[in-house]
Structures are given as C-alpha cells and as structure tokens.
Amino acid sequence: MKKILVAVGLMTLASTAFAAKDCGELKSEIAAKLDAKGVPHYSLAAVDKGASANGKVVGTCDGDTKEIVYKRG
C-alpha cells in the first residue's frame, strides 16, 4: 500500500509540474540558453499545438496545449 501511495504521489507531482509550465516562463528559459550560447537574431513564439508554423518546435507549455517555435532571423 505504501508503494502505491508513493507512486501516485510522484505521478501527481510530475503532472502538476508539467501542467504548470507557463509559456512566458518557458520562452524566457529558452531565450536565456540561446543568449548564453551567443545565438544572434532569433525569435520565439508560442503557438497552438499542431498549428503549422515556420520554424522548429523547441518546447511545449500550458499543459501541452501550445508549442514554442524557434525561428532564425
């Protein structure tokens, strides 16, 4: 019984952390990493998941309903 409670607790914690990731927060984290690597001239946009967007999907946010899209230039 104790193992089941621990497993349920871990799954709840993981799903809460995943759902809680705000798109603005994630964009800031990604931008900080790109800036630290010296990447010039880029844009990051939050779009609805599955929407066609020119660029590379680099993350998901808002409970996996949106994607962060990276574009050069």
Higher pLDDT, 9 or 68: 68
**SS3 call for 39:** coil
Which spans in the chain are helix H?
A: 2-19, 23-36
Instruction: Say whether pTM exceeds 0.75.
Output: no
Higher pLDDT, 12 or 32: 32
pLDDT at 2 over 90: no
Q: What is the dihedral sign for C-alpha 34, 40, 46, 49? A: negative
